[in-house]
Structure 1
Amino acid sequence: MNLEEAWNILQKNSFKRTKNRELILEYFMAHDRYITALEVRNELVKDNPGLSYDTIYRNLATFAELSILEETELNGERHFRMQCDVESHHHHFICTNCGKTEHIPFCPMEMMEVTLPHHQIIDHKFEIYGMCPNCL
């Protein structure tokens, strides 16, 4: 996902281009990892003292709802990152220290379908958490 694609999605869904949305999206484009709303606020408020946590959180929720951002929960807190460019179905390894992600190129759901033969699986989410080589 790039900025132009994000703005096209927002425009199609009747969202205006605002300075705050622009700042938030640019921050995510510059950081290829999962980030909390508080981290975004703490960084952006340095140059934009009037930017509130509520504004950031609302926009992050909207961006996630529109699939501009991916979302995961880590330690009971929502974390966000730009939608990755890998178009095929995949999952992620997420570093719990720095938030960087790596793609897992296969899906473990094939095993689940064998394990649960009489069940209808509607959806799933699979992520692995740990420490990346740089953080070890």
Structure 2
Amino acid sequence: MHSVLEESLKKLKKSGLKHTQKREDIIRLFAGEDRYLSAKSIHEAMDVAYPNISFDTIYRNLYAFADIGILETTELNNEQLFRMSCLHEGHHHHHFICEQCGKSIQLEMCPMDFFEQQLSNCQLNSHRFEIFGICDKCVSNQN
């Protein structure tokens, strides 16, 4: 966790965003989780140390962190979710995302090989692939 936090704080500084304790605490919260989190859950966690922190402050920071590559986002049930960016892991991959707890499981296979063959005369600029479902732990808790 420590190196991810340090790397993220370096990105923060390099981007020109001011390093504040609130921002560091938000990043620290994500560094300790391997799952997607909602702005609401971040607000609830931050409200303990910062009782007057607004949703606007949370959203502004989450989107700023996503813009500079500290966080990545996805949408589930019309809600934007955030997690620590895994670009630092150095290889291309996708995720399975639990719809109940937000747990993220790394997938090693990329389906783009198939689509690149199907679209050989097209210029592909980017892609995004996520699988949503219920993780093994949440399935076990249902039984």
Normalising by structure 2, what TM-score? Answer: 0.89
Selected match of 1:92 from 92, 95, 99? 95
Structure with a larger share of its residues in helix: 2
Cα shift at 1:115: 2.0
Match of 1:130 in 2: 133
DSSP-derived class of the 1:103 partner: strand
Query: Deviations for 1:7-54, whole angstroms, at most 9, x for unmatched residues?
Result: 111111111111210121111112221001111001211231111111
Counterpart of 1:58? 60
Amino-acid identity (%): 45
Number of aligned residue pairs: 136
In the TM superposition, residue 64 of structure 1 has moved relative to its aligned partner by: 0.5
Task: Work out the CA distance in 1 between the residues paired with 2:44 and 2:38.
Answer: 10
User: Which 5+ residue runs of structure 1 have no aligned equivalent?
Assistant: none
Q: Please tell me whether the aligned partners of residues 28 and 82 of structure 1 are also in contact (alpha carbons under 8 angstroms).
A: yes
Q: TM-score, normalised by structure 1?
A: 0.94
Equivalent-residue separation in structure 2 for 1:122 and 1:17 (angstroms): 33
**Segment drifting more, 106-115 vs 57-66:** 106-115
Q: CA RMSD in A?
A: 1.3
> 1:62, CA displacement in angstroms?
0.6
> Which residues of structure 2 form unaligned runs of 5+?
none
Verify the 8 A CA contact 2:9 2:24 in the aligned structure 1.
no
In structure 2, how many angstroms separate the alpha carbons of the residues matched to 1:49 and 1:131?
33
